[in-house]
Amino acid sequence: MAKVESFTLDHTKVKAPYVRLITVEEGEKGDKISNYDLRLVQPNENAIPTAGLHTIEHLLAGLLRDRLSGVIDCSPFGCRTGFHLITWGEHSTTEVAKALKSSLEEIAYKTKWEDVQGTTIESCGNYRDHSLFSAKEWSKKILSEGISDKPFERHVVD
Q: What pLDDT band is residue 6 in, cutting at 50, 70 and 90?
A: confident
- Which positions ≥6 away from 77 have C-beta within 8 Å? 83, 84
Q: What pLDDT is stored for residue 30 in this prediction? A: 95
- Assess whether pLDDT exceeds 90 at residue 3: no
CB 151 within 8 A of CB 14: yes
DSSP 8-state code for residue 12: T
Full-prediction pTM beyond 0.85? yes
- Nearest Cα to Cα of residue 40 among 30, 32, 48: 48
Domains in the chain and their CATH numbers? Answer: 13-145 (3.30.1360.80)
pLDDT for the residue numbered 38: 98
Strand partners, 148: 18, 156
Does the pLDDT of residue 5 top 90, yes or no?
no
Residues 110-158: tens digit of each pLDDT: 999 999 999 999 999 999 999 999 999 999 999 999 999 999 999 999 9
Q: How much is the average pLDDT of 29-37?
A: 97
Asked if 58 and 64 touch (Cβ cutoff 8 Å), the reply is no
List pLDDT tens digits, range 44-86: 999 999 999 999 999 999 999 999 999 999 999 999 999 999 9
R_g (Cα) of the chain, nearest Å: 15
- What is the pLDDT averaged over residues 30-41? 98
Helix or strand run (H / E) with residue 85: strand 82-88
Q: How many residues are there in the chain? A: 158
Residue 4 has pLDDT above 90, yes or no: no
Cβ count within 10 A of residue 83: 23
Burial class (CB in 10 A: 0-12, 13-18, 19+), 6: middle
DSSP H or E stretch at residue 132: helix 132-145
Cα(118)–Cα(17) distance, rounded to whole angstroms? 26
Distances (CA, A) of 1 to 61, 78, 111: 31, 20, 42
